């Protein structure tokens, strides 16, 4: 269905009045202190939005440690603790803290992580509709009532990504504690170690035992083998292997290493040379059957959520990930009418709002058709920022046609100096030029997000593909988390 053009135009005017261009010059604890060249007005907005997001993530955690996906209790009812959302939300706060200079005290965040892990430990101990505690089938439950009981209704279950994401978070905290006195002292003083250890061991055991089994995807719709789930499972086990490489845990370490290697092989199968992008699902055996393109922003989310500075495997700069991101940007630019508007009222250029996948029907409440989402649009911003930094840090980067296609879209002015097979080294002038152009393009995704965000900084789940107004669950906790990690990557 396409609305007449005047609806589109009126809608755009409406959306622009929602946006604040007079953002307060609020301090945001030092983020964005590095590369502040570029659009100062946009960066000022980003700073105030970071403060908003930090505040929302704090209030959307309940006293018992549960994290609500949104305060919305009907149309849609998102007043639940999702294993996936919660792990991502806590990880985003850690990323934000570690990226801030000067860094604030870690105590409030570690306190929140401690409560979240106590709540998680409790959810791990009861059977639910995903299964019993024997063999940890119950860890595949995606959604919990805020009192910790597994959701009773029908749902797309099991979902195997949540425990892996939680394990990654715990391992990141433990890694930080190894190099950071404040972290290690606080963890001891707050008495967090036993809970961290218990939750981590269960999560890794679940991943190591069950990763081969069919699961619903992160959008809770398709059952099969998913790139997203497998990549975060790979990362959890690879990190687990490194962490348990001590006398006490040597056999665990070996088992996790074997698991990670086996998962890595299955991930390679997702590349389609014919289509030129990574397929999101293989071996579908249930759930929705209309994802003909098998193209999904989940690939970019996977690269971001599983990123590790010491291991580039399917990381943000991977050529196949970049090829998929290029395809996503082109597809959604053409698909959503709102993306025809490429400048906001201040004249700032905007890149397209990105949806979950082109055939999406979920409108945030019912099934009238898909829309762009904040988390996926912010993922493209973050990807550009991360590629820029990795490029500057790399010793050498040999360009192939997949990189070039990504740069053609996201750094067109640098293209003349680039050719297939050329080597770009991090300190060269062309690397710097490319990096700054990529950052500018990341900013254009951020500008897209600003355009559809409410004046008070509120961010829901989606924004309308025709008129740009927000829709779906209000104050989606994950949207704020995605804003924090995107901005943290802009250094
Ligand atoms: C709610 C899920 O969370 C959403 O991702 C999905 O599209 C709909 N249910 C339909 O299954
Ligand atoms: C729907 C999304 O598809 C899913 O990924 C998310 O976990 C839930 N909403 C809760 O935010």
CA of 287, nearest ligand number:
1
CB-based pocket (< 6 A), ligand 1: 219-221, 362
Quote the pTM value: 0.93
Tokens matching residue 468: 């740009």
CA-closest residue to ligand 2 atom 9? 219
What does the block give as tokens for 456?
């008070």
The continuous run of DSSP H or E covering 442 comes out as: helix 429-452
Q: Distance between CA atoms of 203 and 308, rounded to whole angstroms?
A: 19
Q: Rounded distance, CA 141 to CA 133, Å?
A: 11
State if residue 478 touches ligand 2 by the CB under 6 angstroms criterion: yes
Q: Would you call 217 a catalytic residue per the annotation?
A: yes
215: which 2 tokens? 């699961």
Residue of 175, 182, 220, 359 marked catalytic: 220
Which atom of ligand 1 sits closest to the CA of residue 288? 11
- Residue with tokens 């261009």, as numbered in its chain: 21
Cα–ligand 2 centroid distance for 102 (angstroms): 33
Beta strands 215-216 and 277-278 are unpaired
Q: Which atom of ligand 2 is nearest to the CA of 219?
A: 3
Residue 275 parent element (H or E):
none
* Cα of 78 from ligand 2 centre, angstroms: 9
User: What pLDDT, on a 0 to 100 scale, did the predictor assign at position 55?
Assistant: 98
**Other residues' Cβ atoms within 10 Å of the Cβ of residue 132:** 11
- Longest CA–CA separation in the chain, Å: 70
Q: Enter the tokens of residue 64.
A: 């018992």
Which one of the ligands is nearest to 290 CA?
1
Which residue's C-alpha comes closest to atom 4 of ligand 1? 219
pLDDT given at position 131: 98
- Cα separation, 89 vs 484, in Å, equals 9
Atom of ligand 1 nearest to the CA of 362: 7
- The closest residue, in CA terms, to atom 10 on ligand 2 is 69
- The residue nearest atom 11 of ligand 1, judged by CA position, is 221
Show the tokens assigned to 457: 């900084």
Strand 222-226 relative to strand 271-272, pairing: unpaired
Pick the ligand that lies closest to the CA of residue 222.
1
Provide the token pair at 454: 């409410």
Determine the Cα–Cα distance for residues 347 and 140; give it in Å rounded to an integer: 47
Q: What is the three-class DSSP state of 330?
A: helix
C-alpha span between 38 and 236 (Å, rounded): 37
Nearest Cα neighbor of 279 from 245, 321, 317 is 321
314 lines ligand 2 (CB under 6 A): no
CA–CA gap between residue 344 and residue 468 (Å, rounded): 12
48 CA → ligand 2 middle, Å: 26
Residue of the nearest CA to atom 8 in ligand 1?
Answer: 362
C-alpha–C-alpha distance, residues 369 and 383, integer Å? 26
Which pLDDT does position 7 carry in this prediction? 33
- Least Cα distance to 35 among 388, 428, 427 occurs for 388
**Closest protein CA for atom 2 of ligand 2:** 219
Ligand 2, from 73, 156, 301, 478: best to mutate by most atoms within 8 Å of Cβ? Answer: 478
Retrieve residue 408's tokens.
């053609």
**Type and span of the H or E element at 226:** strand 222-226
User: Residue 373 CA: which ligand is closest?
Assistant: 2
Give the integer Cα–Cα distance in Å for 429 and 77: 51
What is the chain's pLDDT, residue by residue, as a tens digit (491 residues)? 333 333 333 333 333 333 332 222 223 334 554 555 567 899 999 999 999 999 999 999 999 999 999 999 999 999 999 999 999 999 999 999 999 999 999 999 999 999 999 999 999 999 999 999 999 999 999 999 999 999 999 999 999 999 999 999 999 999 999 999 999 999 999 999 999 999 999 999 999 999 999 999 999 999 999 999 999 999 999 999 999 998 788 999 999 999 999 999 999 999 999 999 999 999 999 999 999 999 999 999 999 999 999 999 999 999 999 999 999 999 999 999 999 999 999 999 999 999 999 999 999 999 999 999 999 999 999 999 999 999 999 889 999 999 999 999 999 999 888 988 889 999 999 999 999 999 999 999 999 999 999 999 999 999 999 999 999 999 999 999 999 999 999 98
CA distances from 190 to 110, 111, 461 (A): 8, 7, 34
- Residue 370's closest CA among 249, 463, 250, 298? 463
> Do residues 224 and 284 touch, judged by C-beta distance below 8 A?
yes
- Known catalytic membership, residue 220: yes
Query: Is the Cβ atom of 362 under 6 angstroms away from ligand 2?
Result: no
Centroid of ligand 1 to alpha carbon of 219 (angstroms): 6
What number does the ligand 1 atom closest to the CA of 360 have? 7
Dihedral sign for Cα atoms in the order 410, 414, 420, 422 = negative
Question: Would you give the end-to-end CA distance of the chain in angstroms?
Answer: 41
Which ligand 1 atom lies nearest to the CA of residue 156? 11
255 Cα–ligand 2 center, Å:
31
Q: How, if at all, do strands 423-424 and 470-471 pair?
A: unpaired
Q: Which atom belonging to ligand 2 lies closest to the Cα atom of 84?
A: 7
Supply angle C-alpha 209, 212, 216, rounded to 5. 110
Residue 248: predicted pLDDT:
82
The secondary structure of residue 69, as a DSSP letter, is S
On whether the CB atoms of residues 489 and 382 are closer than 8 A, the answer is yes
Residue at token pair 């809970």: 195
What's the rounded Cα separation, in Å, for the pair 108 and 182?
12
Nearest ligand 2 atom to alpha carbon 478: 11
Identify the nearest ligand to the CA of 365 by its number: 1
Interval between CA 219 and ligand 2 midpoint (Å): 6
Angle between helices 161-179 and 227-243 (to 10 degrees): 30
> Does 151 contact ligand 2 (Cβ within 6 A)?
no
Which member of 161, 217, 221, 296 is catalytic? Answer: 217
The answer to whether the CB of 296 is under 6 A from ligand 2 is: no
């Amino acid at each position: 269905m396409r609305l007449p053009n005047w609806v589109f135009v009126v809608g755009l005017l409406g959306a622009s009045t929602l946006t604040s261009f007079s953002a307060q010059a609020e301090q945001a604890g030092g983020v964005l202190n590095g590369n502040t060249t570029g659009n100062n007005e946009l960066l000022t907005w980003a700073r105030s939005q970071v403060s908003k997001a930090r505040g929302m993530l704090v209030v959307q955690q309940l006293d018992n440690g549960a994290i609500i996906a949104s305060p919305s209790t009907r149309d849609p009812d998102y007043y639940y603790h999702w294993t996936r959302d919660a792990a991502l939300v806590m990880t985003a706060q850690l990323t934000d803290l570690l990226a801030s200079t000067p860094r604030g005290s870690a105590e409030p965040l570690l306190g929140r992580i401690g409560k979240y892990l106590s709540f998680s430990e409790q959810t791990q101990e009861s059977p639910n509709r995903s299964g019993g505690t024997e063999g940890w089938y119950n860890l595949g439950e995606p959604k919990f009532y805020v009192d910790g009981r597994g959701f009773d209704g029908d749902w797309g279950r099991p979902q195997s990504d949540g425990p892996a994401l939680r394990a990654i978070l715990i391992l990141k905290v433990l890694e930080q504690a190894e190099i950071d006195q404040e972290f290690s002292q606080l963890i001891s003083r707050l008495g967090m170690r036993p809970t961290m250890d218990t939750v981590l061991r269960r999560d890794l055991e679940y991943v190591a035992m069950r990763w081969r089994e069919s699961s619903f995807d992160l959008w809770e719709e398709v059952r099969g083998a998913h790139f997203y789930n497998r990549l975060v499972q790979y990362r959890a086990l690879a990190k687990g292997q490194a962490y348990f490489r001590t006398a006490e845990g040597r056999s665990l370490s070996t088992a996790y290493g074997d698991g990670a290697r086996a998962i890595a092989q299955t991930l390679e199968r997702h590349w389609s040379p014919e289509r030129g992008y990574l397929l999101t699902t293989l071996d579908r055996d249930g759930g929705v059957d209309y994802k003909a393109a098998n193209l999904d922003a989940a690939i970019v989310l996977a690269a971001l959520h599983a990123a590790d500075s010491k291991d580039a495997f399917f990381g943000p700069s991977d050529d196949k990930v970049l090829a998929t991101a290029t395809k996503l940007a082109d597809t959604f630019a053409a698909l959503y009418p709102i993306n025809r508007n490429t400048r906001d009222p201040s004249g700032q250029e905007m890149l397209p709002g990105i949806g979950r996948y082109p055939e999406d029907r979920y409108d945030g409440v019912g099934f009238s058709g898909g829309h762009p989402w904040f988390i996926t649009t912010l993922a493209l911003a973050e990807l550009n920022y991360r590629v820029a930094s990795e490029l500057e840090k790399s010793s050498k980067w040999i360009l192939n046609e997949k990189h070039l296609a990504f740069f053609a879209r996201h750094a067109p002015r640098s293209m003349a100096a680039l050719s297939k097979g050329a080597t770009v080294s991090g300190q060269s002038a062309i690397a710097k030029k490319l990096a700054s152009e990529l950052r500018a393009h990341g900013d254009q995704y951020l500008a897209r997000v600003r355009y559809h965000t409410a004046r008070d900084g509120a961010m829901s789940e989606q924004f309308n593909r025709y008129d740009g107004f927000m829709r779906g669950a209000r104050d989606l906790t994950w949207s704020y988390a995605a804003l924090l990690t995107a901005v943290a990557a802009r250094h």
